[in-house]
Chain A
Amino acid sequence: MAAESGKIDPMHQFEVTPLGGGFNLGGHEVLFTNSALWMVIAAITLGIFMWGGMRRKLIPGRWQVAVEGFTGFISSMMTANIGTEGRKYTPYVFSLFMFILFCNLLGMLPLGVVGVHPFTVTSHIAITGVLALISFAIVLVVGFWRHGLHFFSLFVPHGTPLPMIPIIAPIEFVSFMVRPFSLGLRLFVAMTAGHVLLKVLSGFVINGFNAETLWLGSIVSVLSFILMIGISALELLVAGIQAYVFALLTSLYINDAVNLH
């Protein structure tokens, strides 16, 4: 935190800092950053979590039940939204859901108290945007692969009266093209806003105790701290919900590509 003259910069947490290990890739220098570190941590944590559910026992233990709960949640969502064909896309949506969920939750860890700055990978539009573009690309590839040019009938909903088609089709097209942006932006904004809010409130807590009129500042600090507890709980909820929304919308978009309307 850049605590110059008592000021705490709530945007500092989103800074990407190099940790070394640079090499050149097509004219761009690629460095191992704190962002990459937290992605790797999320991947390793996820791997350990999944590994605990790999005992494949008939009567599962607690850990296995937890892992199977996640896999069952995603695969039932896929079959509910797409049908039996949805199971083909479960690995992708499951990877997406778990990666986003773990990045969200790891970014929420209160590691600041031991001097480590957690980095919320999903608070960067470059990350969420790429994930959204991957989903969108899968929709396009699957749609044109399965339906060919017939995929364009997606822009004409069932039962549209003929004279309405010239008006409806552009609207549908725009709403279709907006999908990757709204998908990526939603997650990025939710994460960024939540973390900024938490950092602003924690700045209030610190500045309140450092205030010249200590009794007034203490009141502000205590109230802010109570508010932070509530908002942290809310942010944990948001972390789960945003991962779910991303996976759900991806599955719905894939459904459009697989089944058209």
Chain B
Amino acid sequence: MPQIAQLTADNWYLASQLFWLLVVFAGIYVVIGRGMLPKIEATVDARDRKVADDLAAAKAAHAAADGLEETYRQQSDASRAAAQKAVADAKGKAARDAEKRLAKVDAELGDKLTAAETEIATARKSAMAEIESVAAEAASDLVAKLSGAKVVAADAKAAVKAVLHG
């Protein structure tokens, strides 16, 4: 077994084995372990950091968007409430105005009505009076034509009045 032989006997190749191992391994350690590895690790670290930063930025942007949406929602709520209030105010004002106008018109109409009623009443009274005199004349005429008797106007008037008013 050559592996064991080099340890026991005074072997020629143990020294070369150890020498070349140390040379090669030292070379690997210096060039690859100390030279290349830290650069590769730095690349990986930089990438990890970039990813973490990007994620944090995305999170912050997300939060900002959420805040923006919240304020937008609040604003839109507030403006909607204001609009509703304005509408309600306008409605109330319109209703009050209409009421006021209606009341005014109502009063005017009432005045007109009472005036008309009094007019009608006076007209009626005068009409009644006219009817009485006309009826009395007609009645005295009729009496004169039928019986030839002359009826005094005052009598005819009293008779007509009695008939008309029961």
| Interface residue A25 (Cβ < 8 Å from any Cβ of B) | yes
- Is there contact, CB below 8 Å, between B16 and A46? no
- Is there contact, CB below 8 Å, between A92 and B33? yes
- Is there contact, CB below 8 Å, between A43 and B37? no
Of A93-101, A107-115, A147-155, A251-259, which stretch is located at the interface?
Answer: A93-101
- Is there contact, CB below 8 Å, between A35 and B4? no
A residues within 8 A CB of B40? 50, 53-54, 56, 67-68, 71
- Is there contact, CB below 8 Å, between A126 and B18? yes
Complex: A58 Cα to B45 Cα, angstroms: 10
Complex: A43 Cα to B18 Cα, angstroms: 16
A-B contact count (CB 8 A): 130
Q: Which chain A residue has the least Cβ–Cβ distance from B46?
A: A58
- Is there contact, CB below 8 Å, between A75 and B15? no
Main secondary structure of the interface of B (DSSP, over half): helix
* B3, B43, B50: residue with the most chain A Cβ atoms closer than 10 Å: B3
A residues within 8 A CB of B128? none
Beyond A36-B20, A46-B32, A71-B40, is A99–B25 a contact (Cβ under 8 Å)? Answer: yes
Query: Please, what's the 1-or-0 string for A43-67, where 1 marks a CB less than 8 Å from any CB in chain B?
Result: 1001100110110111010000001
- Is there contact, CB below 8 Å, between B36 and A54? yes
B residues within 8 A CB of A188? 3
- Is there contact, CB below 8 Å, between B13 and A35? yes
* B2, B6, B12, B22: residue with the most chain A Cβ atoms closer than 10 Å: B2
Q: Report B20-60 residues with CB < 8 Å from chain A CB.
A: 20-22, 24-25, 27-29, 31-34, 36-41, 43-44, 46-47, 50
Beyond A33-B16, A54-B40, A72-B44, is A39–B32 a contact (Cβ under 8 Å)? Answer: no
**Chain B interface size, under 10 / 10 to 19 / 20 to 34 / 35 or more:** 35 or more
- Is there contact, CB below 8 Å, between B15 and A47? no
| Interface residue B72 (Cβ < 8 Å from any Cβ of A) | no
- Is there contact, CB below 8 Å, between B24 and A39? yes
| Interface residue B1 (Cβ < 8 Å from any Cβ of A) | yes
Q: How far is the CB of B48 from chain A (nearest CB, A)?
A: 10
- Is there contact, CB below 8 Å, between B34 and A91? yes
- Is there contact, CB below 8 Å, between A71 and B37? yes
Q: How far is the CB of B17 from chain A (nearest CB, A)?
A: 5
| Interface residue A32 (Cβ < 8 Å from any Cβ of B) | yes
Q: How far is the CB of B51 from chain A (nearest CB, A)?
A: 10
Beyond A92-B33, A125-B7, is A46–B1 a contact (Cβ under 8 Å)? Answer: no
Beyond A43-B28, A47-B31, A95-B33, is A16–B13 a contact (Cβ under 8 Å)? Answer: yes
- Is there contact, CB below 8 Å, between B6 and A68? no
Contact residue among B2, B34, B37 (Cβ-Cβ distance under 8 Å from A16): B2
| Interface residue A250 (Cβ < 8 Å from any Cβ of B) | no
Query: Please, what's the 1-or-0 string for A8-40, where 1 marks a CB less than 8 Å from any CB in chain B?
Result: 000100111010000001001111110110011
Complex: A222 Cα to B3 Cα, angstroms: 31
Contact residue among A11, A33, A91, A95 (Cβ-Cβ distance under 8 Å from B17): A33
A residues within 8 A CB of B33? 90-92, 94-95
Contact residue among A47, A58, A123, A127 (Cβ-Cβ distance under 8 Å from B32): A47
- Is there contact, CB below 8 Å, between A58 and B50? yes
Known: A46-B32, A99-B28, A126-B3. 18 other contacts (CB 8 A): A11-B1, A16-B2, A18-B13, A25-B19, A29-B16, A31-B12, A33-B17, A35-B13, A39-B21, A46-B28, A56-B43, A58-B50, A98-B32, A99-B24, A121-B21, A123-B3, A125-B4, A134-B25
A selection of 15 A-B contacts at a CB cut-off of 8 Å is A14-B1, A14-B2, A16-B2, A16-B16, A25-B15, A31-B12, A32-B20, A33-B20, A36-B24, A46-B28, A56-B39, A56-B40, A72-B44, A91-B37, A124-B3
Give the A-binding residues of B (Cβ under 8 A).
1-4, 6-7, 12-22, 24-25, 27-29, 31-34, 36-41, 43-44, 46-47, 50
